[in-house]
Amino acid sequence: DDEESPSEAPNPVSLETVKTRSNQQLHGDEWTELLELDSSSESDRGSSSDDEEEEEEGIGAGDVTTPLTEFLSFKQEAALGKPLAATEKDMPGKLPVSPLISVMSHLISFLEHYSQMQRLQEKALEYRAKLRQEESRRKKQLRVLKRAYRQRMRDKLNLIENLEGIICEQQNIMEKLHNGMKVSSACSLYNTSPVSPTGIHRLVESVNALQGERTKLREEIVDLKQEVEDREKEKQQLACSFHLQIQELKERIQGREEELNQLRTETGVTDSEKRIQNLTVENEGLKQSLSVTQGLLQQLSTISTQPSIILVKENEDLRTKVHHLESSLQEKVEKLMHLEGQIDVLQWRKEEEVRRLDDSIRGLQLSLDTERMRPVDIQYVTKTVEVESPVILKSLAEAEDRNQGLVEQLSSQTERCQRLEDQFRGSEALTTGLRLKISAYESEIEKLKEELLQEISHLEAQKEEAIKEASECSEQHLHQLREQFSGVQMRLTTLQPVLKNMKTNYNSLRSQVRNFSEFYETAIKEARRQISVAVAEVSDANRDLLEKYHQEMLLRKKYHEQLVELKGNIRVLCRVKPITEQEREEGATATAVTTDLHDDTRLLVSYKGKERSFELDKVFLPLATQEEVFQEIEPLVMSCINGYNVCIFAYGQTGSGKTYTMEGSPESPGINQQALRALFKEMEVREDLWKYSVTLSMVEIYNEVIRDLLGKDSQEKLDIKLHPDGSGQLHVPGLTSVEVSSFRRLKKVLLLGRKNRATHCTNMNERSSRSHALLTVTITGTDLTTGTQTSGKLNLVDLAGSERVWKSGAEGERLKEAQNINKSLLALGEVIQALRAKQGHVPFRNSKLTYLLQDSLGKGNKTVMMVQISPLEKNVGETVCSLKFAQRVCKVELGPATRKIDSVTQLEL
């Protein structure tokens, strides 16, 4: 529509021409229009008329001589007095015209030109208006077209969406079908059906193609049906004609037979007659074969010939074959007819011959009857019969051969027909199978469609129900809300007067508060003034009190230390283990150890018939509780917080209650837990004036090897070294030292150490009996007022069993263990002895245990030896040994304990 014929095109004036012609006359919008049209006019320029172009060029050319210029030049020349060369030149041979006339004529021509120019301008304006109209028309058309196009696009999109929906449905159906059926090459097309949305177009194409194919196939099937019906009709017609022909042949043969029979009855059997009989028999055979062929044809006609897509070609072949068969049958029938004709001729000849013979016989008989027939004539007749008979026989033999050939051909044709029939049946079976499958598919699709529709209807019903329920619910809710709203409104109306009252009350309260705040401010100012006065007064008194408190504390410490010193810096306590239930059941007797109820420092042991008396710092009876034991050593333990090193040993034979005394049980905790609890308690009391940090380490000494019980690897062997800072202090490199802030945390660390000790021993009791467990608590305190620092150490040692295993003839590992235990305990004894004797050299390094405890065992430290003894008769030997050791230690005098404090504090003390 956009393209217009040249005849309908607007005025093809070129843009350049218009520009040059009336550049100043054109407005801005006109220019834009022209510029827009420039491109279109460019194309149309070629089709513009030549005349108009010439006109435009004539008007636009500035250098062409116009009448006005001519006149002006003439006038100029006249003024200058020049000869009118131009006029003379223009009109040669004419008289010179007066200048006025010439000017007038020029003027007239100029006016003419001018009017012409005006006309042209009007024309141009007209064209322009037309152009505008045309353009608006085109724009409108374009808009309409655009709208239509958009509508079409929308329709197409909707169509595509619908198609996609249908395709999706089909895809689902096909998928279901695929799951159910896995046959047919047609299905294989669907097997490739894409599930991904990107393959939808491919699916659309394939489904469309399939649908197209299906419709094509249906059409083809219909055509083929029609064709087959036509062919069947033709076949039936042909069969009918065959039938008729055969009937005719039959009738004719029958006629001939009858005739022959008549002849036979009339003339008797001759050789030629025999031949004729044979021929008749052959004819009979032929007839039979014909009837067979006829039957086949009938069968063929009765066979259902509904075609299928796959068998179209085969049907074609069959048709052509049938056609060939029909034509060959036709030929054979023709041949048969020809043969019949020959037979007729022969019959006729024979009849003629017979007639002639009859006539001659009759004549001969007549002559014989009348005048006796002559033998020469008889011979002649016989000869003629004999001469003619071979000819007849030969022709009959030929006919027989032909008949034979025909019979063979017929049999081969019959076989071919049979084969074709078989093929046809096979193809028919295939067709029916395919048809059944197609019908099954169709029924399946129908079923699925029905199911889908049922599902959709069911869903719709559900949806409606849900909507109904929702609407009912929302209505109820709305109703409730409305009721609530009305209730709230009612309450609001009732509350409004209350609110008014409250407002008035609030206003009065506000004014009261404002007044109160002012009063409060003045009161606070007064209080502050009074407090500052009081503080000034109190601070002087406080300073005195603080000083008194410090002095009191120092005195308390002093007296405490004096008390400890009075008691002795090495204290040997003895604890007699009670008899356990198990021991009682075993019938153990406890008559070896007796205690003095009036003297808690004496102990009597009857050993080897003698009664030995042992004097110790204190003897705890079997009924003594854990608390009682701790109370006795508490002052010593507490001195640790003041910067003293304290060592508490549990010594005794295996099973004498060392671990019980040191660690205790969850129900009745031993010295370790009680000591630490008391220390933390004291630290809490002092926290206003002192700041403490507590670190903990746990080691096990087994077979003279130190192992860290709090380290990551409790199997790692540690060693004792001098501190690298040159202080002469000992330290164990790699030993884990855990800082604990509370007693609860400390308990956890203790549990961890005990667990680590348990992990690397097969038998806890066995191992604990032969190893020393050392728990070291280091307490560092800082006096917050003076800045003085103290550092005390509490060593809690659960020693290995002191029994003399090595004496009982132990061997191997057991002997080595016993030797090591003995060595360390002996070393401990030697150290204590050296200290007692105030020897210059104390052999701390003789065992790992004494070396490790060097800074806690030496002079100026505090030591508690808790000797555990068993009251049982059987253990009396070990009990005596333990007590002897204790007695030795008891005699050691460590001298006054020294406190680990800096010089400033020492001067104060």
Ligand X SMILES: Nc1ncnc2c1ncn2[C@@H]1O[C@H](COP(=O)(O)OP(=O)(O)OP(=O)(O)O)[C@@H](O)[C@H]1O
- Which residues of this chain interact with ligand X, rule CB under 6 A? 577-578, 580, 652, 654-660, 765, 768-769, 801, 868
Among residues 749, 746, 735, 734, the alpha carbon closest in space to that of 699 is found at: 735
Give residue number: closest CB to ligand X.
657
Q: How buried is residue 343: exposed, middle or buried, by Cβ count under 10 Å (0-12/13-18/19+)?
A: buried
Token pair, residue 861, equals 């430290």
Q: What are phi and psi of 723, to 5 degrees?
A: -65, 135
Q: How far is the CB of 667 from ligand X (least distance, A)?
A: 11
Residue number with CB closer to ligand X (10 or 871): 871
- Residue 607 CB, nearest distance to ligand X (Å)? 20
With residue 783 as reference, give the H or E element that holds it: strand 771-783
In angstroms, give the least distance from the CB of 619 to ligand X: 13
Cα dihedral: 559, 565, 569, 572 (round 10)? -100
DSSP, residue by residue, 249-264: HHHHHHHHHHHHHHHH
**Which is closer to ligand X, CB of 7 or CB of 582?**
582
Q: Smallest Cα–Cα separation from 297: which of 318, 264, 334, 322?
A: 322
Q: Nearer to ligand X by C-beta: 60 or 829?
A: 829
Going by their DSSP bridges, the two strands 738-740 and 690-702 should be labelled as antiparallel
Residue 806 Cβ vs ligand X, minimum distance, rounded to whole Å: 16
| Cβ nearer to ligand X, comparing 74 with 620 | 620
Burial classification of residue 423, based on how many CB atoms lie within 10 Å of its CB (0-12 exposed, 13-18 middle, 19 or more buried): middle
- Check if the beta carbon of residue 720 is closer than 8 Å to that of residue 706: yes
CB of 693 to ligand X, least distance (A): 31
Nearest to ligand X of 347, 771 (CB atom): 771
Nearer to ligand X, 674 or 769 (CB): 769
Comparison of 660 and 680: residue with beta carbon closer to ligand X: 660
* Contact call for residues 779 and 791 (beta carbons, < 8 A): yes
Tokens of 148: 């239509």
Question: Of 648, 708, 711, nearest to 679 (Cα)?
Answer: 648
For residue 791, the number of C-alpha atoms closer than 13 Å in the C-beta half-sphere is 6
Compare residues 124 and 872 and give the one whose CB is closer to ligand X.
872
788: three-class secondary structure by DSSP: coil
Least distance in Å: CB of 754 to ligand X?
12
CB of 479 or CB of 884, closer to ligand X: 884
CB nearer to ligand X: pick between 629 and 901 = 629
Q: How far is the CB of 866 from ligand X (least distance, A)?
A: 11
Residue number, 66 or 847, with CB nearest to ligand X: 847
CB nearer to ligand X: give 275 or 658.
658
Of the candidates 648, 890, 645, 602, which has an alpha carbon nearest to the alpha carbon of residue 779? 645
Report yes or no: 570 and 865 within 8 Å, Cβ to Cβ: yes
How near is the Cβ of 658 to ligand X at its closest, in Å? 4
Question: Nearest distance from residue 802's CB to ligand X, in Å?
Answer: 9
Secondary structure (DSSP) of 197-227: GGGHHHHHHHHHHHHHHHHHHHHHHHHHHHH
Question: What's the min distance (Å) between Cβ of 871 and ligand X?
Answer: 11
Instruction: Specify whether the backbone of 93 is left (phi greater than 0), alpha (psi in -120 to 50) or beta.
Output: left
> How far lies 702's CA from each of 158, 706, 710, 878, in Å?
92, 7, 16, 21
Beta carbon nearer to ligand X, 67 or 657 = 657
Minimum distance from CB of 665 to ligand X (Å)? 7
Which tokens is 174 given? 């096909």
Who contacts 798 (Cβ-Cβ below 8 Å, separation ≥6)?
650, 658, 659, 662, 663, 768, 772, 773, 774
DSSP symbols for 874-902: GGHHHHHHHHHHHHHHHT----S----B-
Q: Between 569 and 868, name the residue whose CB sits nearer to ligand X.
A: 868
For the CA atoms of the chain, what is the radius of gyration?
73
Strand partners, 739: 695
Q: Decide whether 396 or 576 has the Cβ nearer to ligand X.
A: 576
At closest approach, how far in Å is the CB of 649 from ligand X?
Answer: 12
Q: Residue 575 CB, nearest distance to ligand X (Å)?
A: 7
Which amino acid would we find at residue 458?
H
CB of 738 to ligand X, least distance (A): 24
CB 625 to ligand X: min, Å: 8
Q: Closest separation between CB of residue 580 and ligand X, Å?
A: 6
DSSP state string for 118-148: HHHHHHHHHHHHHHHHHHHHHHHHHHHHHHH
In a 13 Å sphere around the CA of 776, the CA atoms on its Cβ side amount to: 27
Q: Which of residues 85 and 623 has its CB atom nearest to ligand X in the complex?
A: 623
